[in-house]
């Protein structure tokens, strides 16, 4: 790193940040001049606020403008706004398939840095889409309602429990609505591909017991916490585990036959209005320090393997042979084909209708 550009950064009060982040001081100065970074995300702001605060502290002069929305709304907004010039600089969502489609359709720009080079190869696609977390799909239950010896730890065990005492669970089961939730569509279609026999058998059993379908994780967890719902299926573990730390009504089960694991995908928009600030944000998110902040404060497993706290390595070790990561790539586009998605949703609606 040349001292001369760092002196320029120092004159702006940025020397410490420049040295700490190992970022080109010229880029830092331009990012500061841009003044803000606009992020569209399908991640609750309260969960990532520690990361936002940390970024603003380390990059004085750059304000994070964070817009939290549903994954399907986020996708449509990015598409619609591109006609007039993108308002978002960074798009970050757990709906991996929709993110890959946006990148595949030309809404992203290339980004290469020391931080992207440090990611595992599966987490980088076309040097445009980047996996940022590891998050398991879990069973969630109302703790006071189930005894420890009856907790279902496999998909088959969950089917058996529901069929054994159907009146007990009637109208008190929940999952994501794949028609309204982008992450719900992703998890359910990946589940159907991973183990179609178990998945469709379970969905039919859930339907026979009057499944409730939710658009958001928060609404589903509220229902489970209150006891209105007793079991939630395919719930995003990052939200459930964070909630369980402080909510005595929430219990979490990691299925030991197979556990799907997704990653929140981020990219910089093709026409970002604050491109250098966007690169600084993305590199901060992917850095060892940023990943540590996420893991410690947001319940999100770090995707980098050189992070000492909750990591992909630890998650693989915990899940063993049940570990089923969803790879980032063109394979995620399968169920975004209108005909295939229509067929899947038709089969879903048939399965969840009580017989």
Joined together, the tokens standing for residue 238 give 């990052």
66-109 residue pLDDT tens: 999 988 899 999 999 998 888 999 999 999 999 999 999 999 99
**Would you state the pLDDT for residue 15?**
35
**Would you state the pLDDT for residue 334?**
93
**Would you state the pLDDT for residue 27?**
67
Of 177, 175, 172, nearest in space to 229 by CA: 172
Please check the confidence at residue 13 and state whether its pLDDT lies above 60: no
**Would you state the pLDDT for residue 309?**
59
Q: How many CA atoms lie within 13 A of 118 on its CB side?
A: 18
Please check the confidence at residue 11 and state whether its pLDDT lies above 70: no
CATH code 3.40.190.10 region(s) in the chain: 3-132+263-310, 135-261+330-352
Over range 241-249, report the average pLDDT: 93
**Would you state the pLDDT for residue 63?**
97
Helices 338-352 and 196-208 cross at an angle (nearest 10°) of 50
Joined together, the tokens standing for residue 280 give 């600084």
Please check the confidence at residue 14 and state whether its pLDDT lies above 80: no
Tell me the pTM: 0.81
Band of residue 318 on the pLDDT scale cut at 50, 70, 90:
confident
Question: What's the CATH number of domain 3-132+263-310, 3.40.50.1370, 3.90.1150.10, 3.40.190.10, 3.40.50.2300?
Answer: 3.40.190.10
134-165 residue pLDDT tens: 889 999 999 999 999 999 999 999 999 999 99
Distance CA(227)–CA(229), nearest Å, equals 5
Please check the confidence at residue 173 and state whether its pLDDT lies above 80: yes
177-203 residue pLDDT tens: 999 998 899 999 999 998 999 999 999
Class of domain 135-261+330-352: alpha beta
Joined together, the tokens standing for residue 227 give 């006891």
């Amino acid at each position: 790193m040349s001292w001369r550009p760092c002196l320029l950064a120092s004159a702006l009060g940025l020397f410490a940040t420049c040295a700490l982040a190992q970022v080109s001081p010229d880029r830092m100065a331009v990012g500061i001049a841009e003044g803000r970074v606009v992020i569209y995300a399908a991640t609750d702001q309260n969960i990532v606020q520690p990361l936002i605060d940390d970024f603003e502290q380390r990059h004085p002069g750059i304000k994070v403008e964070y817009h939290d929305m549903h994954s399907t709304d986020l996708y449509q907004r990015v598409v619609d706004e591109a006609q007039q010039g993108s308002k978002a600089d960074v798009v970050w969502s757990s709906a991996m398939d929709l993110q890959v489609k946006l990148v595949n359709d030309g809404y992203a720009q290339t980004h290469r840095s020391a931080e992207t080079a440090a990611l595992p190869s599966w987490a980088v696609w076309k040097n445009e889409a980047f996996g940022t977390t590891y998050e398991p799909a879990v069973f969630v239950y109302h703790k006071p309602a189930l005894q420890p010896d009856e907790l279902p730890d496999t998909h088959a065990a969950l089917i058996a429990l529901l069929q054994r005492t159907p009146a007990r669970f009637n109208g008190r089961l929940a999952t994501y609505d794949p028609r309204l939730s982008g992450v719900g569509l992703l998890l359910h279609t990946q589940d159907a591909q991973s183990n179609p026999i178990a998945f469709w058998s379970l969905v039919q059993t859930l339907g026979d017991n009057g499944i409730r379908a939710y658009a958001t994780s928060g609404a589903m967890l509220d229902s489970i916490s209150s006891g209105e719902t007793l079991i939630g299926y395919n719930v995003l573990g990052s939200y459930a585990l964070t909630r369980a730390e402080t909510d005595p009504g929430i219990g979490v089960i990691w299925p030991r036959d197979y556990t799907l694991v997704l990653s929140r995908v981020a990219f910089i928009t093709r026409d970002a209005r604050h491109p250098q600030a966007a690169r600084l944000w993305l590199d901060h998110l992917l850095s060892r320090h940023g990943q540590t902040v996420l893991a410690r404060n947001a319940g999100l497993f770090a995707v980098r393997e050189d992070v000492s706290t909750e990591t992909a390595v630890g998650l693989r070790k915990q899940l063993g042979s049940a570990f089923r990561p969803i790879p980032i790539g063109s394979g995620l586009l399968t169920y975004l084909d209108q005909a295939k998605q229509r067929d899947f949703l038709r089969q879903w609606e048939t399965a969840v209708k009580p017989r």
